[in-house]
Structure 1
Amino acid sequence: MSLTPNYSVPLDRYNSDELTSLATLYYIDGLTQEELSKKFGVSRATVGRMLRRAQNEGIVEIRVRQSPKQSDDVERALVQRFGILRAILTPDHADPEKQRGMLASLVAGYLDKTLQDGMIVAVGMGRNINAVSDHAISTAPRECAFVCAIGGTYQGGEAMNPDHIARRLAAQFGGQSETLYAPALMGSPEVARQLSANPTVRQTLDKARRADLALVGVGDMSADSNMVRMGWFSPSELAEAKRIGTVGDLMGYDFLDIHGRSAATQIQGRVVGLSVNDLKRIPNVIAMASEPSKVTAILGALRTGAINTLATSVSNATTLLQMEDAINIGRQQIVGEGK
């Protein structure tokens, strides 16, 4: 290869193997961009563009670790305050997609360390859960069963189909996926109960109920929420749900108020999938929410007692603790005034 930098080499000349080689030399072996410029016969500016392309194509993942003390302090406070087993916290990022990807990468790493042969994983839906399947990298093959814990929907794309997510997780970590042959939302609670009692549907749901681990999302009631984008709530129904105190949902099934109690929305009871009570019987329920708009919904979800592992951002976690403190102070003032 020529040692004279060629300033006119197009980036698409290089395939993924060559980009991987360059990225390895830079990030692992510590070569400088000047040394890479000479080695690959391109300008330093081209080397920089090649490294950025390696990031954009997923060949390289850049992770910034939060201050260990800050993360540890917040995690300990969450565990103590809400009685969960652990918190997976990611640094904050202004870009929502990058924030979601950072959190998904941490959860994928946790799964890689936790999953063992024979485990059953109940899989929910949503953009955060789907992102985990994007970032899943297995260090060793294993035999797990990834089971859909809620029905699917054609609206909202792949992120709204647990079957798609379960298949990708099984392909990355090893094992098999099991489809729940049912739509997520039915026309009435009675139809949802009848479908849930169907032998084929019940068999899959019963397997999901026996899961060792569940991967679920927390939804909010914003205009950008999954439920609104899928058309499950009209603007007037969304306003009514908020009026009666609904703050979000857990796994798309149960709609909750800030105290973790069931909220009587117009679709409550019409979803085919695992309920909060089902989740309470699963040893490790990982609830994910990267968006700052979901803090109130996360608080409601935590108060159900169904969550064992919370995956969110440091700022979300800090706000959660502040909200809990404010609510507790308000309760104490009300009690004091009543004496």
Structure 2
Amino acid sequence: MASVAERPDAAGEKRLDLAARAAWLYYFKGRTQEQIATELNISRQIVQRLVALANSERLIRFQLVHPLAEAIELADRLKDRFGLIYCDVCLNESGSTEDIPSVASQATFYLENVILQQKAPLTIGMGSGGAMREVSRRLPPMDRPQHRCVSLMGNLTRDGRATHYDVVTRLAERLNAQCYPLPVPVVTNTVEERKVLQAQPGYGVLRSLVDEATLLIMGIGYWSAEATLYHDGFITAAETAQAMQAGGVGELLGCAISADGEIVDAAYHDRLTSFVRTQPADRPTTIVASGVHRAPAIRAALRGRLANSLITDENTAKLILGME
């Protein structure tokens, strides 16, 4: 015969058993509370308490049975870790360490369904790079003449050669929107040249548009011998090496940033013409990027609060979280 001290535990176990039965009927069999009350011969109020008990005692574990389940969880973890206002993680379709096409398609969906359905005029600030080019290519044609697309950085080398990442023009064409490119060198030869360019009325107009932009969306670069700024001829090999020695791990709108998301003391910065954002980001500022090389740069920008939104793939998301 059980002792007096053992009876409360036995009663508790029986109650948990009953809670498990009620939870099974409620969550897995789809019974209503009234049906459960009849089946277990208890009142509806007791059914409510039993289901609540099952939840509080963690008897119930939910599993999302869908290919995106892990990606959704990764996005949630990234939002919590970096305090993001938006995060979307897509499946890695290519199986490689970089999946720009999948990420660009997800960013296109974001622009099309989250932003561009608005009828009121809005201004979108666009960065450049391969991911942004893929986004502009995938966006379906729309008729949004009230919207404005403004470039966040120049598209010329110092000798006047244009980059093939003319993103803002392509995007504006797809939307039938107003287009405001920035036809200046990304990095000028001298500080005086930068000051002259930024003193022009057209530059002031673009600065005002960027300041009032509803959304900023951009790719991100990384520092190596294959750095985009160097590879595309915007800066020299010596300037690239100096930025890396100064601690640069990422490049956002042409600006070198450290692993903590701080702007490093890169020699070319005083000749940079892009609209570099202040910290922290004061509006939806979205990075669209993928790849093992870009993961440290993405993490740096999020840590430094240079961006508050991210669209990436699951492999890159795992890399970023693994660095924490």
**TM-score normalised by the chain length of structure 1:** 0.68
| Corresponding residue for residue 285 of structure 2 | 285
SS class of match (2:109): helix
Query: Looking at both structures, which has the greater relative contact order when contacts are Cα pairs under 8 Å and sequence separation is at least 6?
Result: 2
| Corresponding residue for residue 22 of structure 2 | none
Q: Kindly tell me: are residues 287 and 208 of structure 1, through their superposed partners in 2, closer, same or farther at Cα, counting changes over 3 Å?
A: same
* Whole-angstrom distance in 1 between the partners of 2:96 and 2:137: 17
Listed as ranges, the matches of 1:151-190 within 5 Å are 151-153=154-156, 157-159=163-165, 164-190=166-192
Aligned mate of 2:245, from 238, 243, 246? 243
**TM-score normalised by the chain length of structure 2:** 0.71
- Contact 2:72-2:88 at 8 Å conserved across structures: no
Q: Displacement of 1:140 after TM fit?
A: 6.6
- Contact 1:209-1:279 at 8 Å conserved across structures: no
Q: Deviations over 1:150-194 (max 9, x none)?
A: 1111557421xxxx3212212223321112242221123343233
Q: Displacement of 1:295 after TM fit?
A: 1.0
| Corresponding residue for residue 111 of structure 2 | 111
Write 1 or 2 for the structure with the bigger share of helix.
Answer: 1
Aligned mate of 1:133, from 133, 136, 139? 136
Q: Does 1:124 align with 2:119?
A: no
- Contact 1:119-1:143 at 8 Å conserved across structures: yes
- Contact 1:216-1:288 at 8 Å conserved across structures: yes
Structure 2: gaps (5+ residues): 1-65
- Contact 1:181-1:201 at 8 Å conserved across structures: no
* Whole-angstrom distance in 2 between the partners of 1:129 and 1:105: 10
Q: Displacement of 1:233 after TM fit?
A: 4.1
Q: Does 1:294 align with 2:297?
A: no
Q: Kindly tell me: are residues 206 and 308 of structure 1, through their superposed partners in 2, closer, same or farther at Cα, counting changes over 3 Å?
A: same
Q: Deviations over 1:39-76 (max 9, x none)?
A: xxxxxxxxxxxxxxxxxxxxxxxxxxx83220111111
| Corresponding residue for residue 22 of structure 1 | none
| Corresponding residue for residue 69 of structure 2 | 69
SS class of match (1:122): strand
| Corresponding residue for residue 274 of structure 1 | 275
Range with bigger deviation, 104-113 or 146-155 = 146-155
- Contact 1:290-1:313 at 8 Å conserved across structures: yes
Q: In the comparison of the two structures, how many residue pairs are matched?
A: 252
SS class of match (2:269): coil
* Larger radius of gyration between Structure 1 and Structure 2: 2
CA RMSD, 1 decimal:
2.3
- Contact 1:277-1:306 at 8 Å conserved across structures: yes
